[in-house]
Amino acid sequence: MKNYLFLLLIFSCSLFACSSDDDNNNYGDGSEIPIDIDRPSEDVKPIQMWIDAHANFSRFAEKASITSYLEKMQETGFNEVYVDVKPGIGYALYDSDILPQLTKWGTETVNRDWDYLAYWIEEAERLDMKVIASISTLGFGATKTKEGLIYDSSQWDGKTQVEMPDSSNPENLVDMRDQTDVDAAMLNPSIPEVQSFVISIIEEIATKYPKLKGICLDYCRWYGGNYGFGDTTISAFEAYSGQKVTSNNDIITDSGGIGSLYKYWIEFRSMTITNLITNIRSKIKSINPDLELHLWASAHWTSRYSVGQNWASKNYTPTGNSSIYTDTYNKTGFADQIDVFSLGAYADAVWKTEAPNSDWSVENFVTTYSNYTMGDCDVYGSFASYAYGNKATSVSDAVYLCLKNTDGLMVFEISHVINNSQWNAIKDGIDRVYK
């Protein structure tokens, strides 16, 4: 009997203990409290490095250098790379049947018996990284050395952009090919032959390199506010707008002010660029619907009207500035025509507190862009690493702000990262977002 009571007591205590454990694992309503919580890992956004063709022309003359730096990029946290394959000189760093190969630039000469772009793609794939091929869309000549496609043939006579350098002398126009202080001599996008030629280059890249993640347009614009004059462009403007130009001063006054036709001129120039982008997109998607179209432009939207880059949504209508914007300017927005906008948050100031009375800070740009794009495309914040030299904190902060506040990050560009030993600062900025 005593043994029976003892066993009964042990059994009862066991029940009580189990009941107590169960109660401790329940909410008041009886639902179970999760003990081991599996927190979902945050997807890593695209983290990109830009490889400028000119700055790295000799650096990547050998395959081993490409491999070494791709591995360094992966180690730092990069998972994508922009490779400049048709720079402003107008020659090709890919297997082209349209353009001559780029083997000489100034005093540098590089001869390869292998496909530069194909090797970047091959090595990136090995490292589980992606490649976007970038091109200087309208740049086809190096003006400082008078090298490049537009200097090789009379075919391009009359097809480059023309500047009116002094509006007090409106008949004095200068062809970009004859200048030396511009980044590249650029073709005139209002000429149908130019648009067709540019699209043929993009078609070739998209067709020959199916493993590309995307193609990025750089210098897809008018060079500056005083560029785009000349009989050909004026005729195209008159046909588009229905306005008659009696003098270039109808557009920009002799004192440099806004002429009576200025806002119509601005819409025409922006629509010209948007039409080019739209036609490029159509061609790319007809070849490979999954191939992304990227575009880089300055993040300072309010100054982009002067070069024809309305990277906003068509649903964004600017208020005020009726002397600059027509009532229909919003139709020139091209955010819906690109998959990724590489937002050029290039500023000396990283934080708004460093430039409290200015738009020009990385922080301001990466926190206000959606006012314009309105969700029409992905936006990757990019910054100019050369602006911060060896200031590791500034580099880390710029990385953090871009990556935290946008859909991805692009660092411009690898030569400055190498020369200023910025690898650790970049990794620190990435880690601040993901750790």
Residue 77 lies in a domain: yes
Q: Which range marks the domain in which residue 109 is found? A: 48-338
Read off the CATH number of the domain in which 246 is found: 3.20.20.80
Residue 424 lies in a domain: no
Neighbours of 6 (CB within 10 A): 10
Residue 334 lies in a domain: yes
* 287 residue type, one letter: I
Residue 420 lies in a domain: no
**How many domains, in total, are found in the chain?**
1
Residue 421 lies in a domain: no
Q: Which whole-number Å values give the CA distances from 19 to 26, 33, 240, in the listed order? A: 11, 15, 82
Residue 394 lies in a domain: no
CB 431 within 8 A of CB 395: no
* Angle, vertex CA 253, rays to CA 247 and CA 256, nearest 5: 135
Residue 435 lies in a domain: no
CB 135 within 8 A of CB 85: yes
pTM above 0.75, yes or no: yes
Neighbours of 183 (CB within 10 A): 14
Instruction: Supply 78's token pair.
Output: 């990069």
Tens place of pLDDT per residue across the chain (435 aa): 444 434 343 344 443 344 444 444 443 444 454 444 444 466 899 999 999 999 999 999 999 999 999 999 999 999 999 999 999 999 999 999 999 999 999 999 999 999 999 999 999 999 999 999 999 999 999 999 999 999 999 999 999 999 999 999 999 999 999 999 999 999 999 999 999 999 999 999 999 999 999 999 999 999 999 999 999 999 999 999 999 999 999 999 999 999 999 999 999 999 999 999 999 999 999 999 999 999 999 999 999 999 999 999 999 999 888 999 999 999 999 999 999 999 999 999 999 999 999 999 999 999 999 999 999 999 999 999 999 999 999 999 999 999 999 999 999 999 999 999 999 999 999 999 998
Residue 5 lies in a domain: no
